[in-house]
Amino acid sequence: MIAEALPGAEVQVLDETGSGDHLRAVVRAPQFEGKSRIDQHRMVRAAVKPRMDDGSIHALSITTRPSR
């Protein structure tokens, strides 16, 4: 889902509680270049918004990294 919204992104999703709804996403994307962290997080949040809205993800921690 995140990789679709941010083509070329490397995405790693960790299930922090084992329940599948508290997730941590580590995202590395070329689109982050030159963006502030807050904007990087906004981009990832926007990508997963439908899943947050329908409640299938309850909590998402985001870590963003610029592309290697």
Partner 1 sequence: MAANPELKQKVEEVLRENRVLLFMKGTPEMPQCGFSMRVVGMLEQMGTEYGAIDVLPILDPLREVTGEISDWRTFPQLYVNGDLVGGADIVEEMFESGELAEVLGVEQPEAAAAPAQPDAPANPQQSPPLQVDS
Binding site for partner 1 (CB under 8 A): 37-38, 41-42, 61-63
Residue closer to partner 1 by CB (options 9, 62) is: 62
Nearer Cβ to partner 1 (20/42): 42
Question: What's the closest the beta carbon of residue 11 comes to partner 1, in angstroms?
Answer: 16
Tell me how far, at minimum, the Cβ of 42 lies from partner 1, in Å.
6
CA gap 44, 67 in Å, rounded: 14
Residue 36: helix, strand or coil by DSSP? coil
Of 8, 3, 15, which Cα lies nearest the Cα of 68?
Answer: 8
Q: DSSP assignment, residue 56?
A: S
